[in-house]
Structure 1
Amino acid sequence: MNHHYDVIIVGARVAGATLAYELSTAGYEVLLVDKSEFPSDILSTHNFFNNSLKILREMGVLDKLLQTGTPLYKRAVVQFEDAVIDGEFPEVDGESECLCIRRVHLDQILFEHAASQPRVTTIEGFRVTDVIREGDAVNGITGVHRSGSAEQFTAKLVVGADGRNSTLRKLVNSPQLMAVPTDYASYVGYFSGYEQEGDLHVELYKIKDKMVIVFPTSDQLYVLGVMFPLDDQEWSDRFTASPETAFRELVDSGFADSPLPARLRQSALDGKIRGLRGYDNDWYQGMGAGWALVGDALSFKDPAVGQGMHDALYTARILTEILSQHDNWDAEWESMAQTYRTMTETKMMPRYHMACQITKNVPFTTEQTMVNRFIAAHPEATQAFLGMYNHALEPEQFGGVIGRLLQGSSAQVGYAEANDVSGG
């Protein structure tokens, strides 16, 4: 086996496999390693809004993903207290449908696709233990195989694509630039027999201090996530004692004025309820001498905004673009790092701020409630609201859309706070 590459990627799931594919297409020799073996599952959101499907199609994997039988959807139903926002996501780049595919299918297909590319070498079951340095720059990794044997590899660049708790990020001491802790505990389960009315759709509920998200997913299942305040000791104890019972009781008691309890009662849990108790909406330095970060290793955001999958694809693609525009990496780390930071912040920061709003347990104000009702009553406002999630509209443009619509309306709404309706 070769022991020197242009790029080593640590983490071979969505961000890492996509980056390996993109780099191979650009002509680079790549080593892709992961501590897991595929297929394997992981606790994570796994939804692609339609703005991401163009990238999957261009990569040549969309048809393979659809062959799993995972359904496509266009519609969203969002209930903020008594306001029910119901509409379709606006078209982006000629794509109109969204896809929420389970990670056990998604990650294997992306990994196999990357592994099939020329110039990509893969190693499963390889746990990175340290980085190798030459002067101030990172130029390789050391790690351990499942067999217990140690091995090291060198490269011009080492990339961390290993998620929210990135090992590579810790080893290179990437500075944390921002962190907003969540106020919520999250629990997730897959259910069979869940039935919606009308077209398949994503559901989001925020009522008082609790939230639920629902996506149609693979294997004829729906994935449901419930969120309640971290400091609610009663619900914390109930979830610890009996996760499924607590999950169902929280939905019954907290969402009685929605169709959610009736749908869940007729559903059967498939597998176990899994929890994520506390996390930061974070942002780290994305590149330094000999290293870079992509996907959740760079920035993790509250799952309720559904941006993780898109950002994994996007950061992989733009990192490849930046590397391809520079011939002498060793002399250009600083300029490449600045370009990477500018591009990621421009594209991703608005949804990061949306996530920071959603992640706080703050009730809707009177003005926000009025805006939510206005959005629910006006199809164009609904389209604009959903367009913030799939990048058809930038969040900073949303208030202007609402203001323009209000000029022709007799509704008296304090729309100055309209940018806050994406979660409170």
Structure 2
Amino acid sequence: MELWGGVILKTYDAIVVGARNAGATLAAYLGKSGLQVLLVDRSFFPSDVISTHTIFNNTVETLRDLGVMERLLTDDAPPIGRTRAQFNDAVIEGQMPVYGEEADSYCFRRTHFDKVLLDFACEQPGVTAVEGFRVTDLLREGDTVVGVRGQDREGNVTEYRARIVIGADGRNSIVRKAAGAVKKTSTPSQYASLYAYFSNVEQMSDEVQFELYTREIHRAYLFPTSNQQVCVVMQVPLCETGWIERFKREPEQAIRDYYKVYFPRPSERIADAVMEEPLRGLYSYENYWYEGMGQGWALVGDAICFKDPGVGQGMHDAIFGARMLSELLAGTKDWEQSWQMMAEQYQTRIENEFMARYHQAVTVTQVAPLTEQDLGAFQLIASSPLATEKFLGFFNYTAEQEDLGAVLQTLLPAGN
């Protein structure tokens, strides 16, 4: 167990379980607001984690507001200004709409991203971090959570107490389970989401871009990331058990063959590329929402909501959700008398913010061939710069589905 960034207290204002993007962001904001925060994680940093990587420019604005963006830019992950989305033969391509004053998006490796955020959080007044500490249970007084019990790598058991315990500990959140958070909705995915890092990938053009490919029920993505590498992504239908077994048995050859069969042009660009690290990803996951707060506890990031990686919203949700929760806590004087009010406000705000992308993820997570109507809509979007802007703007919150629909209505022939 490693302690740094502060001193151990008898009681904190907040214990944040999970020190990656959601937890470190939350701890930094809470520390800036004058609260005493204990940030714990079972891992040591830097370390890697399964991730979608994508940080669109709306999230960049939040990170710049936090004060950490310049440090993140010490990495060599390239700024990404364009997105190319291809559905069969329909190609939608354009600049990602500017968000505020931010034009660039990024795809940082998590080894860099999480470590920078953790270091930054620990520099804030009142924030203490303990690495290598695994929370095993919550402490309670009556119906209220008042702390955590856990152990370090040597098996030493320690208890810490706080006014609130916040689970930023991911899809398999121990805080969520121990708190008894109610699941509000869930939809199992019909895809496996897999990826690997490749070097020496031939670029499509001089301008760096996100690339999204769909061929009927098969999907692939190319995201330029750190270390002059590309994150090569596959979304593979679980019903295609032959492919699933191949990815498990011979992952590198399966990647190359999957691209060759369904995405021949990108396949040519990875033909001479070198797979730098083992295949990783998720073979089984669900899209879900949980209640986000109760007496003495709250959830943030993947602990409260998880969306299919195909919509690329996980990093945003973790960071923006952390900011929302920090604003609620910092703006409420008497937590002990306000749990129900805070829980209702938090749930309402976070659902209002994220639910449209959740519904999109529930659609994306189902195996369904592209229809003629789908392809016609994509062709129509591709024909219009304004429709393209609204389509891409859904990813970075500069547009909603209704905005795209309104533009498409103006493009349809009279009588349709």
Same fold (TM over 0.5): yes
Match of 1:293 in 2: 299
3-state SS of the aligned residue for 2:70?
helix
Instruction: Using the TM superposition, name which of 27-36 and 270-279 deviates more.
Output: 270-279
**TM-score, normalised via structure 1 length:** 0.94
Match of 2:200 in 1: 193
3-state SS of the aligned residue for 1:72?
coil
Letter of the aligned partner of 1:339 in structure 2? Answer: Q
Deviations 1:377-405 (A, max 9, x none): 21111111000011000123221121123
Supply the distance in 2 between the matched residues of 1:13 and 1:91 (Cα, whole angstroms): 27
Letter of the aligned partner of 1:309 in structure 2? Answer: M
Please, which of 404, 407, 415 is the counterpart of residue 401 of structure 1? 407
3-state SS of the aligned residue for 2:71?
helix
Is the contact between residue 188 and residue 274 of structure 1 (CA under 8 Å) also seen in structure 2? yes
Supply the distance in 2 between the matched residues of 1:404 and 1:172 (Cα, whole angstroms): 50
Match of 2:380 in 1: 374
Supply the distance in 2 between the matched residues of 1:273 and 1:163 (Cα, whole angstroms): 20
Supply the distance in 1 between the matched residues of 2:153 and 2:402 (Cα, whole angstroms): 48
Shift of 1:411: 8.8
Match of 2:106 in 1: 99
Match of 1:349 in 2: 355
3-state SS of the aligned residue for 2:307?
coil
Is the contact between residue 193 and residue 268 of structure 1 (CA under 8 Å) also seen in structure 2? yes
Supply the distance in 2 between the matched residues of 1:275 and 1:326 (Cα, whole angstroms): 39
Supply the distance in 1 between the matched residues of 2:358 and 2:404 (Cα, whole angstroms): 16
**TM-score, normalised via structure 2 length:** 0.96
Q: Is 1:388 aligned to residue 394 of structure 2?
A: yes
Please, which of 120, 124, 137 is the counterpart of residue 117 of structure 1? 124
Is the contact between residue 184 and residue 228 of structure 1 (CA under 8 Å) also seen in structure 2? yes
Please, which of 72, 79, 82 is the counterpart of residue 86 of structure 2? 79
Q: Is 1:311 aligned to residue 317 of structure 2?
A: yes
Letter of the aligned partner of 1:396 in structure 2? Answer: E
Letter of the aligned partner of 1:279 in structure 2? Answer: Y
Supply the distance in 2 between the matched residues of 1:265 and 1:411 (Cα, whole angstroms): 47
3-state SS of the aligned residue for 2:305?
coil
Shift of 1:138: 0.5
Deviations 1:93-124 (A, max 9, x none): 11111011000000000000001111001100
Supply the distance in 1 between the matched residues of 2:67 and 2:76 (Cα, whole angstroms): 17
Is the contact between residue 34 and residue 123 of structure 1 (CA under 8 Å) also seen in structure 2? yes
User: Aligned residues, how many?
Assistant: 408
Please, which of 134, 147, 155 is the counterpart of residue 141 of structure 2? 134
3-state SS of the aligned residue for 1:339?
helix
Match of 1:417 in 2: none
Please, which of 223, 227, 231 is the counterpart of residue 235 of structure 2? 227
Deviations 1:171-209 (A, max 9, x none): 111111010111101211000011222210001111012
Shift of 1:41: 0.4
Letter of the aligned partner of 2:165 in structure 1? Answer: V
Shift of 1:331: 1.0
Deviations 1:35-61 (A, max 9, x none): 000000011111110111111111121
Letter of the aligned partner of 2:13 in structure 1? Answer: D
Q: Mind listing any 5+ residue stretches in structure 1 that lack a counterpart?
A: 415-424
Please, which of 69, 72, 77 is the counterpart of residue 62 of structure 1? 69
Supply the distance in 1 between the matched residues of 2:253 and 2:281 (Cα, whole angstroms): 14
3-state SS of the aligned residue for 2:22?
helix
Match of 2:252 in 1: 244
- Percent identity between matched residues is 44
Supply the distance in 2 between the matched residues of 1:240 and 1:54 (Cα, whole angstroms): 38
Q: Is 1:27 aligned to residue 21 of structure 2?
A: no
Match of 2:223 in 1: 215
Match of 2:181 in 1: 174
Is the contact between residue 3 and residue 152 of structure 1 (CA under 8 Å) also seen in structure 2? no
Match of 2:167 in 1: 160
Is the contact between residue 25 and residue 319 of structure 2 (CA under 8 Å) also seen in structure 1? yes
Shift of 1:267: 1.0
CA RMSD of aligned residues (A): 1.2
Q: Is 1:204 aligned to residue 209 of structure 2?
A: no
Q: Is 1:53 aligned to residue 60 of structure 2?
A: yes
Is the contact between residue 210 and residue 222 of structure 2 (CA under 8 Å) also seen in structure 1? yes
Letter of the aligned partner of 1:332 in structure 2? Answer: S
Supply the distance in 2 between the matched residues of 1:170 and 1:3 (Cα, whole angstroms): 25
The 3 A distance-change label for structure 1 pair 222 and 411 is farther
3-state SS of the aligned residue for 1:73?
coil
Letter of the aligned partner of 1:203 in structure 2? Answer: E
Supply the distance in 1 between the matched residues of 2:150 and 2:401 (Cα, whole angstroms): 42
Letter of the aligned partner of 2:366 in structure 1? Answer: K
